[in-house]
Amino acid sequence: MFIVMRRKTAGMVFAGIFFFGISLGLYNFALHPNMYNWEKQGILIREVKTDQKVIALTFDDGPDPVNTRALLQVLEKHEAQATFFVLGKLAEKYPDLVKEMTEAGHEIGNHSYSHADFNGKSDDFIRKEIKKTSAIIKDITGQNPKFFRPPGGYLSHAMVDLTKEEDLTIGYWTWEQDSKDWRNGTSGEQIAKHILNHLQSGQIVVLHDGASNGMQTVKAMDILIPQLKKSGYKCVSLSRLLELENHE
């Protein structure tokens, strides 16, 4: 099910989708009825309204010693900034890569320690996954992460409360900007085309440097970023994207 939502109608859409999903026995991250309220409260960010031509590229599931290093080279080549949502267990294994990200001006976000499915897990389990990863990031970079992206996009009231305890904003993504780049067989050209075809200012793009198809994501960035720059767009971190939000 592909869902496109705008702020004006999001409340009604969420309600309708929620009950439809329940009737089918389907209940996943895209159907959570409280997402719109969390977004309004600033607990969760999915996109921003801005007059400036900016988007945030975000990369999940790394760092990977091959994919991430190649990606960092492409981002440096095109002078683009990004946000990396790292797994704690991989950040522990490859701390030098996390340092390289920070030294290059990229932002580091928390993507849990092990990428476990949070559905059905205890509050204590989720708390440990979040706190441990934040501590690892702080130890490597000297800075606490500002954003948390739940594995699989899982959302619950308890998990949201835990992120608030840790002073973390949930860094989600714009619905239209999930190119499924992690799927084996998805080409760099297809990934770049998807992003360009759905492009709007203020979007958050979800990508994966830690997936087995990660080199196609790297290839996509080498295609995409020059096209974005040609159209007047700039790639910024999530923190910078929030700074550029229009406040009515």
Active site (catalytic) residues: 60, 208
Q: Which residue has the tokens 């950040």?
A: 91
Q: Which residue has the tokens 């559905």?
A: 119
Least Cα distance to 192 among 161, 165, 226 occurs for 226
Q: Which residue has the tokens 């790394």?
A: 62
Taking only Cα atoms into account, the Rg of the chain, rounded to an integer number of angstroms, comes to 17
